[in-house]
Amino acid sequence: MGWLIAAMAAFLGSHYLLSHPLRSPLVKMLGKNGFPAFYSLVALVTLGWAILAFGGAPRAPVLWDGYAVVPWTIASVLTLIALALFMASLAGNPALPGAKVHGLSAQLPRGVFKITRHPMMMGFALWAVSHIIISPSPRVFVLMGGVILLALGGSHLQDGKKKALYGSEWRSWVKRTSFWPNLAHARELGAWLAAAILPWIAVTWVHIPLAAIPAGIWRLLPEHVF
């Protein structure tokens, strides 16, 4: 567990340092093309370390039976919602790198952005929560807790950085949108939920060879099938 905690601290810490206090000096030193490559390398190395440490961490104790009907159902629904949020976030998202922000103050939020201005990060957070629900062991709390912290904390810090960069453009967007999901506009995700069903079935099937554990609807199949 010590290695896993250290790996997640390195993963989260490097993301924060490279995204905020060290970003400007490193961009000057490495250039606009060199910095993203360095950032990606550090992220991959620290994430790889976390995955290896996770595999070696104790699997017990498990706080409840995550594969009982209720937690399994909740976790499955959350992963579908998470995938729908992720898919919806890829279109017209001003928070994405290189996205157009100028003129944002004159735009009203549409679609998934009526729910939250950070649909991608909220999707990652829900994905992590679903894994905690279905596998409530200390190692999962550390790994997925780190993902939740990165998603939510990163979104908050991104708002601050965008305000500093774009001023009134981003401040107006913040006033017109919600950080936390606004369930009053949940219907805006309806079409994306439908579009996410087939990819969700495919992704949960891939979970079997990658993790040797059936997820989603594949849990309904007899164990001898796997």
**What pLDDT does residue 225 have?**
55
Q: What angle do CA 148, 111, 146 make, to 5 degrees?
A: 5
Distances (CA, A) of 176 to 22, 30, 119: 31, 37, 15
- DSSP per-residue string spanning 194-220: HHHHHHHHHHHHHHHHHHSS--GGGGG
**What pLDDT does residue 223 have?**
62
**What pLDDT does residue 32 have?**
80
**What pLDDT does residue 93 have?**
92
Beta-carbon-side half-sphere exposure of residue 15 (alpha carbons within 13 Å)? 20
**What pLDDT does residue 207 have?**
85
Q: Which among 117, 114, 115, 123 is positioned nearest to 84, based on CA atoms?
A: 123
Each residue's pLDDT tens digit in the chain (226 positions)?
A: 899 999 999 999 998 998 888 888 988 888 888 888 999 999 999 999 999 999 899 888 999 998 899 999 999 999 999 999 999 999 889 988 778 888 888 888 999 999 999 999 999 999 999 999 999 999 999 999 999 999 999 999 999 988 988 898 999 999 999 999 999 999 999 999 999 999 999 999 988 888 778 888 888 876 655 5
In the chain the first and final C-alpha atoms are separated, in Å, by 29
Please state, in angstroms and rounded to a whole number, the distance separating the CA atoms of residues 106 and 19: 28
- The pTM assigned to this predicted structure is 0.89
**118: Cβ–Cβ under 8 A, 6 or more apart, which residues?**
95, 155, 158, 179
Neighbours of 170 (CB within 10 A): 23
Cis check for the bond before 61: say yes or no (omega within 30 of 0). yes
